[in-house]
Amino acid sequence: MAYQPHYFSEVRKAQENAYAPYSHFKVGAYLRTKDGKAYYGCNVENAAYPMAICAERSSLVSAIADGYRPDDFESITVTVDADKPSSPCGACRQVMKELCEDDMPVYMTNHKGEMIESTVGELLPLGFSGKDLNK
């Protein structure tokens, strides 16, 4: 499914819940499942910086905890309050590679509503996941 205008208002709602007292860089994620359910994520920082979780992973982990399985996801929209849209970090790209299809759309937006569209595979070319293991 193509990007829908309401994705932007939904991802901004997720961003409002971010806990970013150190970086002040609030990120929201709006994950859509193939059956139309939505999962919201936001970044949650911690004084021990490596313990923080990003918005993208937050939404994916919530969906998995609710019973969704890898490849059940339609798209993810991410937003930041910056002059240009930001792409997911390396850790988020790896988790998306594990849980999402390579052609799943990733919509990156900013506070002005500007959007860059990519896919999981484009964000992590030649990536490695459980799909690559001999089972």
- Report how far apart the first and last C-alpha atoms of the chain are (Å, whole number): 31
DSSP letter at 46 equals -
User: From CA 134, how far away is CA 97, in angstroms rounded?
Assistant: 17
Q: Mind listing the pLDDT tens digit for each residue in 37-71?
A: 999 999 999 999 889 999 999 999 999 999 999 99
Q: Is 134 annotated as a binding residue?
A: no
Q: Which of 10, 56, 114, 122 is catalytic?
A: 56
> Pairing state of beta strands 73-80 and 27-33?
antiparallel
CA gap 120, 102 in Å, rounded: 5
Give one DSSP letter per residue of 53-105, joined into a string.
B-HHHHHHHHHHHTT--TT-EEEEEEEESSSS--PPPHHHHHHHHHHS-TT-E
Domain layout of the chain by residue ranges? 6-124
43 among the known binding-site residues? yes
Nearest Cα neighbor of 111 from 79, 76, 86 is 79
**Count of other CB atoms within 10 angstroms of residue 51:** 9
Q: Which pLDDT does position 135 carry in this prediction?
A: 61
Residue 56 is a catalytic residue: yes
User: What is residue 115's predicted lDDT score, i.e. its pLDDT?
Assistant: 97
Spatial CB neighbours of 48, under 8 Å, sequence gap ≥ 6: none
Q: Among 3.40.140.10, 3.40.30.10, 3.60.21.10, 2.40.10.220, name the CATH number for the domain at 6-124.
A: 3.40.140.10
pLDDT tens digits, 68-105: 999 999 999 999 999 999 999 999 999 999 999 999 99
Is 75 within 8 Å of 104 (Cβ atoms)?
A: yes
Give the three-state DSSP class for 32.
Answer: strand
Is 42 labelled as part of a ligand binding site?
no
